[in-house]
Amino acid sequence: MPSSPPIVSVEHVFKSVTDSTGTLDILRDIDFTLGARETAAIVGASGSGKSTLLGIIAGLDVPTRGTVRIGGEDLFALDEDARAALRGRKIGFVFQSFQLLANYTALENVMLPLETAGRRDARKAAADMLARVGLGQRLGHYPKVLSGGEQQRVALARAFVVQPQLLLADEPTGSLDFATGEQVMQLMFELNREQGTTLVLVTHDRGIAARCERRITIEAGRVAANETTAFDEAAVPADPARAAIGSIAP
């Protein structure tokens, strides 16, 4: 048994939604834990419940039954304000669609979580983080003039700038071309290693899933597999584009 509590503990989580046509069971008895620095890929078909699960781990959505603990704290025993505060302190989130604020510059987008946390050095810390993701020359740019890859790097800067214990990423390369997605992934794994963040990454890409220590397969709202054994890299289809890509410059 580890002496410190797991960073993420998902305990018998169920999620159902009911409308006039009946009840849909989206998640059924999801149960797993992740330790400090652990990296986990969530894989599964479209509609299997991956995004719903990530939203619940972030405390953005509420389970019908079950418990989620973040660093030992029971997320749904907290009221909404306390839950939002915990999220701001401990959890970063990266989405497929970037989700930057359109009327804020890159710098302002990254400053926001720092300001929420009451950090007086928000401007400098945000500028440093944007330099770290290679966007030191883009501080005053608005999202709409940035490429998709640049927007996702701003989103990574915004997520990592508060040094969260946990990073949740929902298909972060889903809107990017292969080469750009590969660069964003490389950067995400680097930041993750540097900061010692626990990572939960939803991905369709077997090659990316293979780079995580754990793979959790969701089928129709249930955990169908939870494996830490190494992927057979030979089983991952060769992609000529992958071989052509080196690591990106810092």
Ligand X SMILES: Nc1ncnc2c1ncn2[C@@H]1O[C@H](COP(=O)(O)OP(=O)(O)O)[C@@H](O)[C@H]1O
Q: For binding to ligand X (CB under 6 A), which residues are involved?
A: 17, 24, 26, 44, 46-52
Instruction: State the Cα–Cα distance between residues 213 and 173, nearest whole angstrom.
Output: 19
Instruction: State the Cα–Cα distance between residues 58 and 70, nearest whole angstrom.
Output: 9
Q: Where are the alpha helices (DSSP H) in the chain?
A: 50-57, 80-90, 106-116, 122-132, 148-160, 178-195, 206-209, 240-244
Q: Which is nearer to ligand X, 21 or 137 (CB)?
A: 21
Smallest gap from Cβ 35 to ligand X, in A, equals 24
DSSP string of 122-180? HHHHHHHHHHHTT-TT-TT--GGGS-HHHHHHHHHHHHHTT--SEEEEESTTTTS-HHH
Residues in binding contact with Mg ion, number by CB under 5 A: 1
Percent helix, strand, coil in the chain (nearest 5)?
35, 25, 40
Residue 173 binding Mg ion, by CB under 5 A: no
Q: Which is nearer to ligand X, 162 or 209 (CB)?
A: 209
Residue 51 binding Mg ion, by CB under 5 A: yes
Q: Which is nearer to ligand X, 23 or 247 (CB)?
A: 23
Smallest gap from Cβ 202 to ligand X, in A, equals 7
List the x/- string, 8-47, binding to Mg ion by CB under 5 A: ----------------------------------------
Task: Return the one option of Mg ion, ligand X, none that residue 52 interacts with (CB less than 5 to 8 A, by type).
Answer: ligand X
Residues forming contacts to Mg ion in the complex (CB under 5 A) are 51
